[in-house]
Amino acid sequence: MLVDTSVWSLALRRRSKAAATDIAEKLKRLIITYRATIIGVIRQELLSGIRTPEQYAELRDRLRAFPDLQLRTEDYEVGAHFFNVCRSRGIQGSNTDFLLCAVAAARDIPIFTTDRDFERYETILPVRRYRPGA
């Protein structure tokens, strides 16, 4: 499972609502079964904007338990292609989103995200979202 920033963020928050707790439990199950993966750009997003050096170091150290899935040149090329395909159909997204889609498509793994943009990407691109319980 390729875990998006939105899921990690919900799971790592200290104060969480019921929906966030549910997402955190699903991520926990993936972690316990060694099915959660991360890529470097997601790690960077998670670590960006941390307020104190202590909080940064704590989160950095916790995330080090998850090695980055190694990317290839083709992942970036396909990510750009996906960006162009979606844009030509009126669907906007971030470079990070399309890189995630490219990595997931190339490795045939689902994306675990709470970002609703991926619902639109899924209608055009050869990607699938992780739907626990579906």
Which of these three, 63, 96, 115, is where a domain ends? 63
Q: Residue 134 above 80 pLDDT?
A: no
Same domain? 54 vs 78: no
Per-residue pLDDT band at 12 (split at 50, 70, 90): confident
Residue 129 lies in a domain: no
State mean pLDDT over 122-134: 89
Same domain? 7 vs 48: yes
d(CA 106, CA 133): 24
Residue 108, Cβ neighbours under 10 Å: how many?
Answer: 9
Q: Which domain holds residue 34?
A: 2-63
Whole-prediction pTM: 0.91
Number of independent structural domains in the chain: 2
Residue 132 lies in a domain: no
Same domain? 35 vs 59: yes
Residue 47, Cβ neighbours under 10 Å: how many?
Answer: 14
Residue 100 lies in a domain: yes
